[in-house]
Amino acid sequence: MNKTPPGLPVLARLSRHAEASPARLAKTRHLLHVLPAGDDWHGAPDAERALAALARRGKTGSALAERPLTLELDDGRLSSWLRLDPGKPAFDWHARLRQALKPLLDEDATEIGIALWGPPEFRARAAAAAAYVGWLNGVRLPAWKRDKMPAPLKRLVLHGAGGESLDRMIDRARALAEGNSLCRELTTQPPNLLGPAAYRARVRALAAEMGWEIEEYDFKRLEKLGAGAFLAVARGSGHRDAAIVRLRLRGRRKNARAGAYALVGKGICFDTGGHNLKPARYMNNMHDDMNGSAVALGILLAATRLKAPFDLDVWLAIAENHLSPAAYRQNEIVSALDGTHIEIVHTDAEGRMVLADALALAAREKPAAILDFATLTGSMAVALGERMSGVIANRDDLAAVAVAAGQASGERVVVFPMPEDYDEALESTVADVKQCTLDGEADHILAARFLGRFVGETPWLHVDLSASRCKGGLGAAGTDITGFGVGLGLEVLERLAGGA
């Protein structure tokens, strides 16, 4: 088995034509027609065939707003038809575009044309959304199969998408698609290929390619700093390869006095649960537990591509949670980097341990705000399932920004509270705080109350990624691993920086 070489995901090339020429469309073997809701066909070729196919099912043209239609034409061409309601949010558009593109991609199409119809403002929004969904699903994630894998999508052609005003929208869609694809590709890597040492090497290679500043807080350095919460988890591994990695992007700041924004990502490359060993059902897919760090990297990549008008500091808490004679145990007392003494209650609550020291490091730099991303608690998945993620913030206005950003990005979030009286459950008779409780009730709120101790007065948004994996895909992404958080995070940062 060969290691996937370091590098960035390769997206399909994009070309655009200002007009949807019938002559060009007639030569397109795999074609998606996108129209606004209603019954107007806007002069789209082959509309009569689509209408006839709908009529045979007792439906009119407006039915395309409910379900896409796929036609196999006499000359071997395959076309999909879809109507999008301008009043619907991004999630609805993304999900429906993915559904309409799937039959074309299932034919292993290496080139797909997208014909856009309707008013100019509709065509612009639809073009950017369709390109984003096409790029995401045209990328082939790593797989280790002897059978020949389908070829990736090599080219997207937009018909009816002209004008300079669309350039920024397309650039942003491509940056987000690249960031999301990087996140999914990293999260797909099996644990024998992406342990902490390999992950750190991959991050170094990305930093060199993208021009990011990099600083690694390795085992020895963290010992000197007194980062006992992180090291309690890391010491269970047979290797001293865990680290907190800091990456820096110095953007084109509009406000020279505005501080950097900090992203913190949980990077547990595999989580056995430690001494509180997970049963097989819950240990399956625990290589995904580094997804929060992959989200942070995806946001950083997208922001870099867009030459973001803000500075970013990214902190990746990279380790494994293993069972060994050296692994941390229940009832131990460990001291975090900021001096907080923590009573260990459950070794499978390792995410909040590594994040505690990473958040403390981030807060020391006095950022304008901290956003952390983590596949943190099972209770959030119980509360929401896998189609949305939960957010908790120490500022109401920051929580409101996250909800608005979720609607705009197609990555929906629900705000949970973190009232102070929940701290009673974390009171310890022998330490400053308990790591968690054994009851498990409201653990997503208790985890946030615990983590909030390490950010001080810094505005802070915690994203518990219950939607990091969704069977059959979610929104724009057709893979089980969704890349959820990349679009949300960039949208939050842009809104915060825009209001600075």
Q: What is the pLDDT of residues 205-244, one digit of tens each?
A: 999 999 999 999 999 999 999 999 999 999 999 899 999 9
What is the pLDDT, as a whole number, of residue 254? 59
Q: Please state, in angstroms and rounded to a whole number, the distance separating the CA atoms of residues 435 and 307.
A: 39
> Is 278:272 a contact under the CB 8 Å cutoff?
yes
Quote the longest CA-to-CA distance of the chain: 78
DSSP-derived letter for residue 65 is: G
What is the pLDDT, as a whole number, of residue 150? 81
Q: Is 85 a residue whose pLDDT tops 50? A: yes
Q: Is 410 a residue whose pLDDT tops 80? A: yes
Give the residues across from 413 on adjacent strands: 389
Binned at pLDDT 50, 70 and 90, residue 253 comes out as: low
Pairing of strands 111-116, 30-36: parallel
| Higher-scoring residue by pLDDT: 2, 453 | 453
The pLDDT of 248-275, averaged and rounded, is 87
Task: Share the mean pLDDT of the chain.
Answer: 95
What is the pLDDT, as a whole number, of residue 17? 94
Give the residues across from 372 on adjacent strands: 264, 462
Q: What is the pLDDT of residues 34-67, one digit of tens each?
A: 999 999 999 999 999 999 999 999 999 999 999 9
Q: Please state, in angstroms and rounded to a whole number, the distance separating the CA atoms of residues 111 and 9.
A: 18
What is the pLDDT, as a whole number, of residue 7? 81
Q: Is 329 a residue whose pLDDT tops 50? A: yes
What is the pLDDT, as a whole number, of residue 341? 98
Instruction: Return the CATH fold of 13-180.
Output: Leucine Aminopeptidase, subunit E; domain 1 (3.40.220)
Q: Please state, in angstroms and rounded to a whole number, the distance separating the CA atoms of residues 444 and 457.
A: 21
Residue spans of the domains in the chain: they are 13-180, 194-498
What is the pLDDT, as a whole number, of residue 136? 98
- Token pair recorded at residue 383: 């509360």
Q: What is the pLDDT of residues 382-404, one digit of tens each?
A: 999 999 999 999 999 999 999 99
What is the pLDDT, as a whole number, of residue 2? 42
Q: Within 10 Å of residue 165's Cβ, how many Cβ atoms?
A: 10
User: Considering the domain 194-498, what is its CATH architecture?
Assistant: 3-Layer(aba) Sandwich (3.40)
State pTM to two decimals. 0.97
Domains 13-180 and 194-498 in one fold: no
Binned at pLDDT 50, 70 and 90, residue 151 comes out as: confident
- Token pair recorded at residue 203: 């991050």
Q: Is 25 a residue whose pLDDT tops 90? A: yes
Q: Is 374 a residue whose pLDDT tops 70? A: yes
Catalytic site positions: 278, 352
Pairing of strands 30-36, 413-415: unpaired
Q: What is the pLDDT of residues 285-318, one digit of tens each?
A: 999 999 999 999 999 999 999 999 999 999 999 9
What is the pLDDT, as a whole number, of residue 4? 46
Q: Is 362 a residue whose pLDDT tops 90? A: yes
3-state class (DSSP) for residue 240? coil
The pLDDT of 88-99, averaged and rounded, is 98
